[in-house]
Structure formats: structure tokens, C-alpha cells
Amino acid sequence: MPDHTVDNPEFYEAHWRRTRTAHDPAVLTKAAQLVELVPAGVRSVLDVGCGDGTITAAMAQRFEVTAVDRSAAALAHVAEHSPTVERILASADQLPLADRSRDLVMTSEMLEHLPGPMLQAACRELARVARTWVLVSVPHAENVRRRFLRCPKCRLEFNIYGHLHSLDRARLTGLFGDFEVVQELLSGPAEPASLPAIEQVRQHYGQRWHWWPGLQVQCPACGNEQFAAPKWHAGNRFVDISCDHATRLWARWTGAHEQPYWITLLLRRRDRDG
């Protein structure tokens, strides 16, 4: 079976060719929240993994912003609604910028996409370029398995958004060891409590993959874009209902409950004079 953890730039190029977030209420609310988290005195901001630039545009209303993404399609969207913003085509793990050259370096919904070694390298680069501040936002302790789909051609099982990691405050602070948390924000739509093992049973035996009519997604292994509704019958329905019941029992036993989808941390460099 193909490995879904292998980095595939074309997956994101295809994503940004068809995706716009400028009219997504949750993203617009998040953009406003991120702007308000920027500390006083910040002038220059580096937005790494800027995507189509919805958050970049909000930042650019107050700060000198440089937008970085390795997707040319994403940067083309940035150019459409933020033509004065400097744009750099580069990967997060190889930023072509000098040490401590921006007051604040930010990234929103990017780190969870990166394979392990690339994730660590990207965090080192974010920390290297930041003069004082890092602002990072990711899905909060996400059950990545919950949004899995299986490719009918190569049988790859993958997260439809390309998420590879479940990240929380402890994991993020470990990735930015030279920084301390100044502020934490939980925000976004409520995410129901779920357990990866139960979702895997639901998918494998109940054929309840994360799919809906009109979904546009590309398999990161073989490039297939043709997905159809899974077959649905009484046996699948029984598995689905059983998994719902098991999830409720697990949540009651552990105290798990729904929570806001995103966690955002404002981090400050401990050694600000080095």
C-alpha cells in the first residue's frame, strides 16, 4: 500500500488551484483573531504557508507582510487580492531569509501537513527567521483519522486535507524550544470527540469514509480525482451505529468532549538579545 506520509507538493498545488477561503466565515473570523494577537511594536510579519492569502490580506492592513508558500497557485491568489504584499515561492523548511529578519513569523494550518523530518526543519526555520515572536495555529489535538478517504485505484488511505499530525500545546512548545508561550487561543467550529481506533473500524468495516457528493480531492499517491459514494447496506449501517455507541461510551469513560477546532499560540523568544 502507498505511504500517505510522503510529501507530495502536487497535492497542494491541485488543492490551491480549486480552493478559496476568502468567503469562509470561520477563516475570516480566525484572520481577525490572529491580527489581534500580534503584539504591540511589531512591524514586519512573515506568513509561511500563506495559502490563498485570506489571513495574509488581513495582516497586510496593519503590518509589512511577506507571504511564503511553495505553491505557485496559492501565491497567484495572494497576488489577486494583496498585490502589494511581497511573495516568495519557497518551502517552509528552506526559507531564503536572514536570521531574525522579521519581527514576527506566523503560520496557520501548515505544520500539520508536513512529514516528520520536514516538520522539525520547518519549525527550526520559523524560529531562525523570527526576531522575537512566532504565531502558530493548527488543528487542536485533531483525530486525523476521522477525515480519511480511501482511493479506489491505489487503495491509499489518506486525510482529505493532507493532515499528517495531531498537534497540541505540548507538541508545539516542544517544536519551539527557544520560545515561551505568551498567549493561547482555542477557536473555530466545534469538533466532536472521536477516537482513531473507532473511526478506523467505522471506515474499514462500515465503509464510512469521509466523502460527500461534489468533494474535490486528489489522491496524494496516484493523483486520482475520481471518488464515488461507498456502497451502503444494512451491515454498514449496523457498524456505523455501533461505532457511534462505542464513541459515546468512550467519551463518557474518559471525559472527552467536543472542543474548538483550532489552537493558536503566541510564542516569544526567550533570548531576545542574541
Per-residue pLDDT, 83: 92
Mapping DSSP to helix (H, G, I), strand (E, B) and coil, where does residue 34 land? helix
- Measured CA to CA, the distance from residue 162 to residue 256 in angstroms comes to 25
Per-residue pLDDT, 11: 84
Residue 101, amino acid? S
Per-residue pLDDT, 232: 79
Q: What are the backbone angles phi and psi of residue 156, rounded to the nearest 5°?
A: -65, 135
First to last CA, the chain: 48
Low-confidence ranges of the chain (pLDDT < 70): 1-6, 272-274
Is it true that domain 9-269 has CATH number 3.90.850.10?
no
Per-residue pLDDT, 2: 45
Helix axes 196-206, 234-254, angle to 10 degrees: 170
Cell numbers linked to 267: 510564542
Mapping DSSP to helix (H, G, I), strand (E, B) and coil, where does residue 53 land? coil
Taking every pair of Cα atoms in the chain, the longest distance, rounded to a whole number of angstroms, is 66
Per-residue pLDDT, 273: 64
Per-residue pLDDT, 1: 41
> Cα–Cα distances in Å, from 68 out to 22, 35, 56, 148, 161?
18, 18, 10, 28, 19
Q: What are the backbone angles phi and psi of residue 190, rounded to the nearest 5°?
A: -70, 135
- Measured CA to CA, the distance from residue 176 to residue 147 in angstroms comes to 28
CB-neighbour burial class of residue 98 (10 A; exposed 0-12, middle 13-18, buried 19+): exposed
Query: Which position has the grid cell 490580506?
Result: 57
- Rg over CA atoms, the chain: 20
The residue ranges of every structural domain in the chain are 9-269
